[in-house]
Amino acid sequence: MSRLNSKQLVLDANLALGSNDLMFNPVGDAAGDRNRRCLQAVWEEEHVAVFNRQLQREWREHASPSASRWLQRMIQKSRMVIDEGSDFSPMLQLACDGFPSAEEKAALAKDFHLVQSALATGQLVLSNEVRFPRHVTQACATVPELAQLYYGNPGIEGEDCRLWIKSGADKEPNRRIDTWFANHRP
């Protein structure tokens, strides 16, 4: 893939945490192996990592040594962008208004920085979260713009997620966050 065809992906910090160094098996099915292969696919296909201040802080706190080295290479090659997605912050209150419980509101608020940065850039999120797509899907009822997000989860999808990244991380209908959630309910 050429850099002209690369996509901007918001990469949740749980990919860095799960990308462990111990006993890495390039063909293994352990969570760390899947995460590391997906990060490698992002590198190989020359995609761009999207961060905001909160996500950078989370990566610093949780990244394995291999994930830290991966991010450093991305920075050196100018394949990281910072976008807070501040224009989308008012959506959080609207989205939370649709939830009946304080726990659900807090869960969405905890990861809303991913939503903001994704909406401001390529609308693509890569994460191992299982509750995140459920909460965003629920919030689509009050904030339909959230259905513009597309999602990949190496923890659940394994090799399918890596292959999606390798093939260009296109906005396929089955990757739209509400459709993805409907097809991958844990």
Higher pLDDT, 66 or 109: 109
**Mean pLDDT calculated for residue range 93-101:** 93
* Burial per residue of 99-124, b for 16 or more beta-carbon CB atoms within 10 angstroms, e otherwise: beeeebbebbeebbbbbbbbbbbbbb
Average pLDDT, the chain: 90
Alpha carbon distance 186, 181 (integer Å)? 9
pLDDT of residue 171: 97
For the stretch 15-73, pLDDT in tens is 987 555 555 444 445 556 788 899 999 999 999 999 999 999 999 998 888 889 999 99
pLDDT of residue 6: 93
pLDDT of residue 27: 46
The model's pTM: 0.91
pLDDT of residue 106: 96
- Measured CA to CA in angstroms, residue 33 lies from 5, 23, 30, 140 at distances of 26, 9, 5, 32
For the stretch 139-182, pLDDT in tens is 999 999 999 999 999 999 989 999 999 999 999 999 999 999 99
